[in-house]
Amino acid sequence: MVFLEFEKPLEKLYEQLEKVKEVSEGGVVDMDTTIQELEGRIKQTRRDIYSNLSGWQRVQLSRHPERPYTLYYIEQMCRKFVELHGDRYYGDDKAIVGGIGNMDGQTVVIIGHQKGVNTKMRQYRNFGMANPEGYRKALRLMKLAERFGFPVISLIDTPGAYPGIEAEERGQAEAIARNLFEMAQLRVPVVCAVIGEGASGGAIGIGLGDHVMMLENTWYSVISPESCSSILWRSWDFKEKAAEALKLTAEDMHSFGIVDEIVKEPHGGAHSSPEEMAKTLKRQLKKAIAAIQEKSVDQMVEDRINKYAAIGQVTHAN
């Protein structure tokens, strides 16, 4: 198990529990009572830690190396999935995956960022930072969904679009802007879920939808706390302060009306019980799609455009 900095009390308890279990397995001393006491303390400590997380702690959880990524959710949610590749212009971006899936008998198109589960795969996936061809691939799949009337599911988890010069040369900004333009008018339901990091244009490039949800321990912001700290204070040392000032948690985004729903995670975060998290996410995605499908297509598109047009409006009290 990987423990984050603020989870150190849990790490010590787990170490004690492991030692006690080793003694118990030896059969010399009955340690059942001690094991039960330690397990109870672990549950209570976990509740205490996770009942009052700061913005920076939620950022850390969203980056947990054992946190489930897009391909895991697809595997758990879909009975069958066929991945499609390439943008038909330049190449196939491995940072964004997508294809057609069967979710309890309903055909859907799923796209999402994929970071990679180990060092080699993270390099292969470019740490979830997409190039322009990734966004163009996503748009190609969304237009495919529109042609056949399939709902679109978008899973967001990226530290940002790839900022390299080659990405700019191939039209990074235009690719993201084009996706926003097209997604606003897409004539099929679009449901988006932030499953990890939701950073800047890299996230919103596949994140405009009828219904946007965030998992409980995720963040969504125009900039990461570290980058914000380096700009304002010329140092990363103030990242915790920046995280609070940015108001980037799911609760903040929901209160601003930027996202429509917060999906609860298991105690300890999504990585503590990935299968349970996948079941919960699947249930909420299906519920959101069903609600959107009750509208006419014209009403759905109009509501989507009005929703984003209203973001950022401020009402002043008299």
pLDDT at 174 over 90: yes
- Indicate the average pLDDT of the chain: 93
What per-residue confidence (pLDDT) applies to 192? 98
What per-residue confidence (pLDDT) applies to 24? 76
Query: What digits encode the pLDDT tens for the residues 62-114?
Result: 999 999 999 999 999 999 999 999 999 999 999 999 999 999 999 999 999 99
Q: Where are the alpha helices (DSSP H) in 272-315?
A: 274-293, 297-310
Please report where in the chains the tokens 């004539």 appear, as a residue.
Answer: 187
What integer is the mean pLDDT of 29-47? 84
What per-residue confidence (pLDDT) applies to 314? 66
